[in-house]
Each structure stands twice: as structure tokens, then as C-alpha cells.
Structure 1
């Protein structure tokens, strides 16, 4: 914590999240619930009860998560029932999936000041790396970063490679794209960066340095190094077998990731099955405590 360059407000909030909730051992385990905007209500078809924000916030408490990620509308209307029981990460931007990702930009719809008013312990920002709109994205992000610094609010960046140029160079979850995204977030001043697990086998069009054969462990090791002193969260990603997801979690934590952020892979399941899966992830986190 002392090496992260945090001001007092950020340090207090981040320490509260990492050591006051979850396993309280310096690891992070977040439950994101911003998919209703990002993907539409279809994400709730697999488990209709998950369309009720109260159900998911209660699931975050029952599962012992370090925080729940909400868009501002849901935070305003539902979080106050459980305020203080699980930390809030207020997502400040977002977009629908309806337009093409060719020039992806996630517009702001919330502010750091609103996050403070709502009692949040961190804010989230989606940064699309590699799109033609990145100049506007960087300018929008700069304002958020300045407000987060001024108000002492930890800034978590969803670093997502997007756009036709990314798709022509291995794709959005290639080792090249994920590694570049992690480094970009670190260089732009994120306190925490969220990435998808890298796929080193996706090499079509990537630079020669990434076209060699890498294991998945070598790839995630490199991504953690690229993040440097920016804490790194690894996403659950698309639905695969439980064992495949647990293996990704094990490799991520062994590589030095700070934690995991699993959303649909948790709340699209029936309640008891969700908690069993969460318990398996918590066992992995318990094996890799963070520094004091």
C-alpha cells in the first residue's frame, strides 16, 4: 500500500476495501452488476431473479465480496438498503451494446462527487484502448482522474481493447491487446486496472514479439508486470467450464494479481450454486494474501 503513490483519502478507502471486507487479507473480489446497461436485459434470462438489484447486492454480502459495482441509477435506488455492508464501486461511464465497437467510446453519466455523496469507496471508468475515439476518451478520463485525485477516491479502470485495429491485431483478448491495455491504464494513472485474461494463442496480425509461443501463465505474468504498481484485477470473462475459470483464477493470483472480478459467471447461476462457485474462488484468493 505504501508503494502505490496514494493520497490519504485513496489510501483510507482502498485499505478499507482490501482489509475491511472480503477475506480481509489484501486480496480483492468484486461483483460487477453493470451488465444491464452494457448488454441489455438478456443477461438476466438465464436467472431472472438476478434482474432485481436487491438480489445481487444481497448476493455480494452473502458471498463475502470486497465490493459491488453499480451504475448510478441502481446505486441511487437500491444501494442505500445495504449501505456499509458491502463497499460500493460507482461506475461513472457506460454504453449500450447497440452501436458498433468500431469507434467505441463509453460516455460519462456519473461523477466522482456523486460517488462521494453515495458513500462509494471507489469509482470505475471504462477506457477503450485502441479505438479511433481514444483522443476523446483520454480527455474524458483525464477529468475523472483529476476529480478522483482531488476527492481522494480510488480509480479502477476497465482497460478494454476495442475497435477494428485491435481486431486486426489478434483481437480484444489477445496477449498483445491485454498487455497493452494494462500498461496504458498504468501510464494514465489508474490505481487499479481490470483486464480480461490474455490468450497468447491469438497471434494473427500481432507484433512479432507477441507472435512467439507463450503459455497462459507466461502471458498473465507479463500483464501483471506491465501494470507495475497499479493493482490488477482479472475478469471472469465469457462463460466456460468452472474448472477453466478456476484455473484462470489460480494462474492470475499466482502471477501476482490483486484479485478477481466475476459478474455474470456468478449471478447467472441459481443462488446456492452461485455461493458454491464463490466459495471455490475465495479458496484461491485465500492462498495468495496481499501485503500488509
Structure 2
């Protein structure tokens, strides 16, 4: 039985999420995270020995070391949402050293943030926690706002500051997505050549993906296809928002879809929707880490644990959670990170 505190946090959702058995794509077809994941999955790929070492560095740090699961602290919101908006609730994070301290004290596998943040304290901390450099951003000062990720530095500079991985975003569906796809694919190729792992933020952005009654930016079918494009350019790990609905292609009469996508490969249950995302990550050969989302205040703890349970039981590899941790007092942020990690460390919480 899962830890009582996890069940208490889930509340009325506990039975539905912890006892659900999926009837879509069965768990035996998935490549499941575990202590042997690199040997079982990545050893047979084209990834070089230095890349395998970098992946091992990610997997073998923090409270989840040796489990095959990842807990990553991402703080790039100072660029993606403006520093004032992101750090006003907790101004200590204008100082990048506090970002690193939160990741270390929170027991994370790695910290993912900007060239500037990591470069400012690289010599002091690069050997103490794995660095993931976010190499592109939406700078948010162009008016009107564009959904356009641009490069903020080179892969070589990420390597020079001791990073074990680079992260990048592609806004699939945006006007600039083709250029972003080409740029990030080239950057990931170079990162692999230098021995670093690659993590792709696979987000969808297009006004047409949102109707009067539903936001299909978080539909399982659209996000699943974004994941599939991400693993096609050889992202080792995929970051994706937790799916909230399905049937986006059908509803907006866009792209191509098959009825079995909605009737056999997924249901409306949140674990099945997330599992469809895992399927599109080569059945779990590339790990799926879901994002925590924006802070909602008092419900953050429950929502974060809920997301972790869904991701784990669907076949995902972990959580990449930022605002819900750093927009609250340090001890509360650490506690939230630890409780999410406890979900992945709890061996009684298994695949659905």
C-alpha cells in the first residue's frame, strides 16, 4: 500500500488513481523506468559513451538516484514569463545561487536553467549537481507577443560550463516551428557529439488549437504527436504538459487521426491520456517527464502529487517542477519536491 501521506494528499482521488488498471496499451509493452534503464534501453542506441555517462549522471544524483526516475528543478521562467512576475512571490531567486541551493537541498536529480544563471555560479556548483542548460527561450519583450523560441547561446558554451545536458523548446504549430525544429535538431546533434544528453520541451502553440469550450494545446493527441516529433530529432528525454483532454485533431478538423486513437489507445482517464503521450515517446524508450504547471496556491501540493502518480502509473519517467517550488518559502518548496519524489521512490505505486 502507498504511503499514507500520499493517500491523504490525494484525498478523494486516491482510489481512482492508485487502483486503476489500464485497458489500452498494456504495461508489458512499455519500456519502464528502472535502475537498469540505461543498460536496457540506451545501450543499444547510437548514443556515444560520453552521452551514456551524462545520462547516468542525471539518473544517479539526488533522492531518486538509482531508481530510473527523474526529479528536475526547472527555472527559466525569468525569461519565459519575466523575472518580476516569476520571482516577485520569492525575490531570493533573482540571485541564481539560490536556484542551485533549492535544487540541491530539494534532492533533485538536476537543475535546468539559463546560460546566465548557471554561468554565474558554474565553478562553484557544476560538480555538485548536474546542470541542464536551457539554450533557447521566448524572450517576451517583442510586442505583440510571438510564440518564437530563439537561441540564447551555443551548445559549446553549455559544454564549457560543465553541463551534462541541454534543454530546448519547440512551439509545435506556431508560425516559427519549422525554423525552431531545424535549429534544435542541429543543436541536439552537436550536444550528442560533445557527450551531452538532450531534453526537449515539446509544447504546442497556435490560436486555432483553442476553441470556445476547450483548450486542445493540452490534448493527448496533439501533445502526443509533439512528443513523437521530439523523439524523432533524438531527444533523450521529453518534457510535456500533463494532458487534460483528447480529440483535438478531430475537434478542430486538423491533421490526420484514426478512431482507434481515441477508442482503443486512450480513454478519458488521466492515466490513459498520459500513457498515450508515453506511447509516442517510442513506448517509453525516451523518457516522458511531465511539467508541474503554474502555482495555484493552496492546491499545489495535491496537484503535484496527483501529477506524479499519473505520470508514474502511465509509464512516465518523472516530473520537472519549478514554480510550485520556488514561488513559496524555501522549506515549503523543499517539502513539495520531496513529496513528489516520494511517489517515485514508493515501490507500491506501480504501472496501471
> Aligned to 2:69, which of 27, 45, 52?
27
> Aligned to 1:226, which of 280, 303, 306?
280
**Deviations 1:129-148, CA, capped at 9 Å, x for gaps:** 11122221122112202201
Match of 1:205 in 2: 252
CA contact (8 A) 1:123 1:156 kept: yes
CA contact (8 A) 1:130 1:162 kept: yes
CA contact (8 A) 1:31 1:69 kept: yes
In the TM superposition, what are the counterparts of 1:1-292 in structure 2 within 5 Å? 1-2=38-39, 3-4=41-42, 5=45, 6-24=47-65, 25-41=67-83, 42-99=85-142, 104-167=147-210, 170-200=215-245, 204-205=251-252, 209=259, 214-228=268-282, 229-240=285-296, 241=299, 242-287=301-346
CA contact (8 A) 2:96 2:120 kept: no
- Structure 2 unaligned residues grouped into runs of 5+: 1-37
State the distance in 2 between where 1:101 and 1:90 align.
27
Alignment TM-score, normalising by the size of structure 2: 0.76
- Where 2:132 maps in the other structure, the secondary structure is strand
State the distance in 2 between where 1:170 and 1:56 align.
32
Root-mean-square deviation over aligned CA pairs = 2.3
CA contact (8 A) 1:224 1:232 kept: yes
CA contact (8 A) 2:199 2:237 kept: yes
- Structure 1 unaligned residues grouped into runs of 5+: none
State the distance in 1 between where 2:332 and 2:280 align.
35
State the distance in 1 between where 2:334 and 2:328 align.
9
Q: CA deviation at 1:245?
A: 2.2
State the distance in 2 between where 1:285 and 1:126 align.
25
Structure of greater Rg: 2
Q: CA deviation at 1:178?
A: 1.5
C-alpha change, 1:137 and 1:80, in structure 2 (3 Å) is: same
Count of aligned positions: 290
**Deviations 1:18-57, CA, capped at 9 Å, x for gaps:** 0244421221110011111111021111112222211121
CA contact (8 A) 1:131 1:165 kept: no
Alignment TM-score, normalising by the size of structure 1: 0.91
Q: CA deviation at 1:7?
A: 1.4
Q: CA deviation at 1:269?
A: 0.8
C-alpha change, 1:103 and 1:184, in structure 2 (3 Å) is: farther
State the distance in 1 between where 2:205 and 2:225 align.
12
C-alpha change, 1:263 and 1:49, in structure 2 (3 Å) is: same
